Structure 1
Amino acid sequence: MDHLPDFAELAARATPADFRDDPLPGWAGLGTLFGAPAARLDELGQVDGWAVAAVPFDGTASSRPGAAEGPRALRTASVVFANSLASLGTWEMLDTRTGEAFRYVAPQVVDVGDLHVYPTDTFRTYQAVAAESRSLCARAGRVIFLNGDHSTTFATFSGFRAAQLDRAAGRRIGFVNIDHHFDFGRWSALHGALYHGSNSRRISELPGMRPEDIAFVGVGDTTRFDQFRSLVEQGFQVVPAARIMRTGADAALRPVVERLAAVCDAVYVSLDIDVLDTAAVTGTGHVTMGGLQVAHLLDVYEVLRELPIGALDVAEIAPRYDPTGATAQVVARLLFEFLFRTGRHDPGLPHWRFDEGG
């Protein structure tokens, strides 16, 4: 029989410092977004980088509930990318889809956990989330909200906007809604005035909000003709999914980005994951046909980098409908690329045209 090592001796020789800098596998690490340090909101000081908070609420679901489970699934999925960052280091990278060179560099991120929600009381949830979002946004340079159903975006946006106005009255705040739907409903027979299909309308009704500072990106579902005509006539900006797929994200979004960048002091970006075709991501409550593909969404976020983004959210991830976990992985990767990809530039490879093949 082969000689076995002396396990007691091996253990005695080891110290935690021997392993401290080794990367963890993708399923290990803190259960925060990208393994970020955890903090309590009421104990949080000023944060120069990004702060993260979640709103696990789906009390206004009208199709398939489950979005309240999305924030936890997203945090779990994100650890894979945080651990890969530890393995990659700061090498110069090449995106072989776009031909862009860049580096992954970890920004400061802190996760304050979940804001208060009340599963059967939408109004109290709104009050709590708006108040706590305002407090968080007053302490952080930029904020990521991991939201449940899309109704919660009204509360997180309200808190963000209030914090911006606390800093300086008269600041102009833009809102970009990346969604297969307009979410401009006035009233729901099931839920009343606050529900997942009214958040954009409620945001537009806040004092001082201007239609031209609100953009709907990726819309592709059917909608009432009179509502669509009214939105356009009032000056809301609309970028249909079909235009993004036909002309590319840069050409489709260029007028919106230039407009918002010129007039807005800060912009809030909200993502309803049903903007993607359900054939691409199944883990959401609303089945989408004819939506964007994942590559289109990556391109959309690259263009939106040019905006003064002060906060963003992701909503409507319902992991129970995606046993593969791919939906949460897609959103985690999207956030990872947006936060950690820096120093983007053309590497100058004249012998290789990425848009024509090598």
Structure 2
Amino acid sequence: MSDYLDMLEGLSLDTFAGTPRPGWSGPDTLFGAPLAPLGATGDARYIVAGVPFDGTASSRPGAAEGPRAIRRASLVFSSYLDSLGEHEMHDTRTGEVFRYARSSVVDCGDLHVFPSDPLRTFQAVATEVRAMVRGGASTTMPILLGGDHSIGFATFAGVMSALRERGTDQRLGLIQIDHHFDFGAHSAIHGPIYHGSNARRISELPGMERRQMAFLGAANVTRKAQFDGLIADGAHIVTAREFRRRGVTEALAPVIDTMAKSCSAIYLSIDIDCLDASVAPGTGHVSIGGLTAGELMDIVAGLLVLPIAGMEIVEVAPRYDPTGRTAQIAAQVLFEALFRATL
């Protein structure tokens, strides 16, 4: 043991302070970000919160476990900026040259949910999301981890309320990347507010127009009258098939152009079931014919030219994916959105 103890000579905490940790270590916060209470997040660029609620699941419950799974999966990225540094990078999948840039992130833990009371959950979530936006700087962006997609109504309403308090010219638009339109009017099981009605409820908020809404990646069957009605009312729709046929850049261009003109800010809602079930099995709804992970990455990257005021990723249900890849994809989508800077 004497030789071993000799190895400790001259060593201190400073010796290891700057060394990256392995991807499975660290606190269960998004990308290992420091914890901060609501209302005390300072001037952080991104404020993260989980919404572990799946009280309106109709097919397979489990999305309440999503926030913890995404946070745990994100730890593999927590040391990227330390290990890779802020150098020029070359993406061999897309050919893009970029660099990862540091940005301040804090994690507020989970918002209040009431598993047997959806309405009280939505009241709490909207109130606390509004506080997240109010308490930050003008450039602060909330990042929400779901939860079933019903929470999207409350998160959007919270962001909208906070933005409108800042000025009268706040036209918040919704871009939803999803296998479905979530435009149901009423569920025989859940009533008017559930995971399949969030977009319709958003469209009914004061001041919202359907031309301020875009639905990307749809690949499920839907009522023809509903589809035709969305088109007639000015909503923008790009199906998964259209992305595949035209390519992401070309198919996305008119959406970016029109949403930039009609909205002063965008709320981006990503339902992980936009991905084909062979890609992301860990979700409540088995999706056939959905996007690939690369297509989702390209769509999100393309949308970042817009003034994004908030972002959520929902419907990760890790119990159906023993490989962990669904949560890993969700974490990587967020990492690239938050830290990749195009040159």
The verdict on a shared fold, with TM-score over 0.5 as the criterion, is yes
CA distance in 2, matches of 1:85, 1:261: 31
Per the alignment, residue 352 of structure 1 pairs with none
Per the alignment, residue 142 of structure 1 pairs with 141
Within the candidate set 120, 128, 145, 2:116 is matched to 120
Check conservation: 2:54, 2:62, Cα contact below 8 A: yes
Per the alignment, residue 85 of structure 1 pairs with 81
Per the alignment, residue 212 of structure 2 pairs with 213
Per the alignment, residue 168 of structure 2 pairs with 169
Q: Does 1:106 align with 2:102?
A: yes
Q: Does 1:34 align with 2:41?
A: no
Check conservation: 2:51, 2:64, Cα contact below 8 A: yes
Specify the code of the residue in structure 2 equivalent to 1:10.
M
Per the alignment, residue 60 of structure 1 pairs with 56
Check conservation: 1:261, 1:306, Cα contact below 8 A: no
- Correspondence list, 1:115-264, <5 A: 115-140=111-136, 141-264=140-263
Check conservation: 1:178, 1:218, Cα contact below 8 A: yes
Structure 1 unpaired stretches of 5+: 346-358
Specify the code of the residue in structure 1 equivalent to 2:25.
A
CA distance in 2, matches of 1:164, 1:100: 33
Per the alignment, residue 268 of structure 1 pairs with 267
Per the alignment, residue 22 of structure 2 pairs with 25
Per the alignment, residue 354 of structure 1 pairs with none
Check conservation: 2:31, 2:75, Cα contact below 8 A: yes
Q: Does 1:16 align with 2:28?
A: no
The Cα of 1:12 is off from its aligned counterpart by 5.8
CA distance in 2, matches of 1:161, 1:116: 19
Specify the code of the residue in structure 2 equivalent to 1:50.
Y
CA distance in 1, matches of 2:227, 2:88: 45
Per the alignment, residue 328 of structure 1 pairs with 327
CA distance in 1, matches of 2:210, 2:95: 36
CA distances 1:139-198 after superposition (whole Å, capped 9, x unpaired): 231111001000001001100000000101241111001000000001111111110000
The Cα of 1:7 is off from its aligned counterpart by 3.1
CA distances 1:58-114 after superposition (whole Å, capped 9, x unpaired): 000010000000000100111101122211111211001111111111211111110
Per the alignment, residue 97 of structure 1 pairs with 93
The Cα of 1:297 is off from its aligned counterpart by 0.6
Specify the code of the residue in structure 2 equivalent to 1:240.
T
Per the alignment, residue 355 of structure 1 pairs with none
CA distances 1:310-338 after superposition (whole Å, capped 9, x unpaired): 10000000000001111111111111111
Per the alignment, residue 69 of structure 1 pairs with 65
* Inter-CA distance 237–253: structure 2 relative to 1 (3 Å threshold): same
CA distance in 2, matches of 1:326, 1:232: 35
* Inter-CA distance 155–183: structure 2 relative to 1 (3 Å threshold): same
Check conservation: 2:41, 2:47, Cα contact below 8 A: no
Check conservation: 2:44, 2:106, Cα contact below 8 A: no
Q: Does 1:6 align with 2:7?
A: no
CA distances 1:193-244 after superposition (whole Å, capped 9, x unpaired): 1100000000000000011000010011000111111111111111111000
CA distance in 1, matches of 2:5, 2:301: 53
CA distance in 1, matches of 2:9, 2:276: 55
Structure 2 unpaired stretches of 5+: none
CA distances 1:9-59 after superposition (whole Å, capped 9, x unpaired): 4346431111000000010112110111110114x1442411111100000
Per the alignment, residue 301 of structure 2 pairs with 302
CA distance in 2, matches of 1:164, 1:46: 18
Off by >6 Å, runs of 4+ in structure 1: none
CA distance in 1, matches of 2:157, 2:227: 24
CA distances 1:237-266 after superposition (whole Å, capped 9, x unpaired): 111110001111111111111111123111
Tell me the TM-score normalized by structure 1: 0.93
Specify the code of the residue in structure 2 equivalent to 1:227.
Q
* Counterpart secondary structure, 2:78: helix
Tell me the TM-score normalized by structure 2: 0.97
Q: Which moved more, 1:112-121 or 1:165-174?
A: 165-174
Radius of gyration: which is bigger? Answer: 1
Q: Which moved more, 1:163-172 or 1:318-327?
A: 163-172
CA distance in 1, matches of 2:81, 2:319: 28
Seq. identity, % = 51
